[in-house]
Structure 1
């Protein structure tokens, strides 16, 4: 602490101001390195794109399951619609499907062939949802906050889908 009797000379003030100005204006070594350094990828961009592709692939699996087993359409349509919303939330494009009622992501991954029985199809969809939810949970700590929250939300929805897909249907 400066005592009450201590005085600062004009010369001291001028030197302090000059040091501050010169220090603030110089580029230093960091500026030269930044200009010549390759651009670093923006954190989370690749992960967001991968999440959109993953959700798009899952929508395709739902579409194939509904096409192969129309009796499952009522049960699978709401889950498929949520996954299509994930595609959009991750920045993917969703186009109108050929049938017109539910959106399909673009570009569409290669079609998958669902199992022969509806029960096996539900089990396969549940396994795909579980695997994707687990992968998303592992990525959470490596991405920026907003994307981590979005991935966590999609992973939680996927875990909920697993429960719904594994549930025995109630008799009508």
Structure 2
């Protein structure tokens, strides 16, 4: 009758000990700095992504304002969509529950068109209402696609915010397309 060989005695730390140590070290490093901080005082990837998302929302808001300035009759159907874009801009800009926020150009929480955006020479709004809605739908779709791609490169809460804004943008593009029919 043969017996199994005796258990081997390993020297050094076990795999579980190493994994637990690595996890503990990662937690300590993660807790030592805020999510948007970086060594050396430079903006972190998260802070840069958040600032870019706020600027992107600002640019989309300028498109809404330009369309509304050219086609005031669209104010009622575009109002709720524009308000959501303004809310996204405020969220990406770091608006808190108390109403304070990081500075972003324009009026971060305003649902009314800005005068600067309405008179922007860089935005050529189509003359027809259907074409103007398609113009907004294309901008919404493009931004939603970029945010869906970008959210893979940012951590936790910002990724969830970007996913939510991307989903809203895709829904806006659909509604704008359906409204143009």
- TM-score, structure 2 normalization: 0.64
SS of residue matched to 1:167: helix
Report the number of matched residues.
Answer: 132
Residue of structure 2 equivalent to 1:48: 50
1:38 is displaced (CA, Å) by: 5.0
RMSD over equivalenced CA pairs, Å: 3.1
Residue of structure 2 equivalent to 1:24: none
Compared CA separation, residues 143 and 161, structure 1 to 2 (3 A): same
Residue of structure 2 equivalent to 1:20: none
Q: Rg bigger for which structure? A: 1
Residue of structure 1 equivalent to 2:136: 125
- TM-score, structure 1 normalization: 0.67
Residue of structure 1 equivalent to 2:152: 141
Residue of structure 1 equivalent to 2:107: 95
1:42 is displaced (CA, Å) by: 2.0
Compared CA separation, residues 101 and 137, structure 1 to 2 (3 A): closer
Residue of structure 2 equivalent to 1:153: 164
Compared CA separation, residues 64 and 105, structure 1 to 2 (3 A): closer
Contact 2:81 2:172 in 1 (8 A): yes
1:47 is displaced (CA, Å) by: 0.7
Is there any run of 5+ residues in structure 1 with no aligned partner, and where? 1-36
Is there any run of 5+ residues in structure 2 with no aligned partner, and where? 1-38, 94-103
Residue of structure 2 equivalent to 1:80: 82
Compared CA separation, residues 96 and 47, structure 1 to 2 (3 A): closer
Cα-to-partner distance string for 1:22-78 (whole Å, 9 max, x where unaligned)? xxxxxxxxxxxxxxx856642311110000000001111001101101111111111
1:168 is displaced (CA, Å) by: 3.7
Residue of structure 2 equivalent to 1:62: 64
SS of residue matched to 2:125: coil
